[in-house]
Amino acid sequence: MHYTRLSEITDIEVIARGRGVDDRRRLNRIYGRGTWRKLKGRAVIEYTNGEIWLAELHWYEASNSGRREEKDKRRLRRLT
């Protein structure tokens, strides 16, 4: 389900970096070589059906590429 982020991402943590990123080869092929990190954080998001949730988001990031492939991983609390 698609969503729109309504707040900035907070409580950002690094899940994996460097060789610990399982999709490193695919990310290098698609977005170019870089030192990839997988991160997670929390944000308020609104789904296309109108529901608003505090959710945990996961994404990949590299210094030369910025944030890529952001996705909602877990719904934490329904706000509406």
Average pLDDT of the residues in 58-80: 95
* pLDDT tens column, 48-68: 999 999 999 999 999 888 999
- Domain count across the chain: 1
The per-residue b/e assignment along 46-70, b for 16 or more CB within 10 angstroms, e otherwise, is: beeeeebbbbbbebbbbeebeeeeb
Q: How far apart are CA 71 and CA 69, in angstroms?
A: 6
Domain limits for position 71: 3-78
pLDDT, residue 67, reads 93
* pLDDT tens column, 4-60: 999 999 999 999 999 999 999 999 999 999 999 999 999 999 999 999 999 999 999
pLDDT, residue 64, reads 85
Q: How far apart are CA 5 and CA 9, in angstroms?
A: 9
pLDDT, residue 13, reads 98
Structure tokens at 65: 């590429």
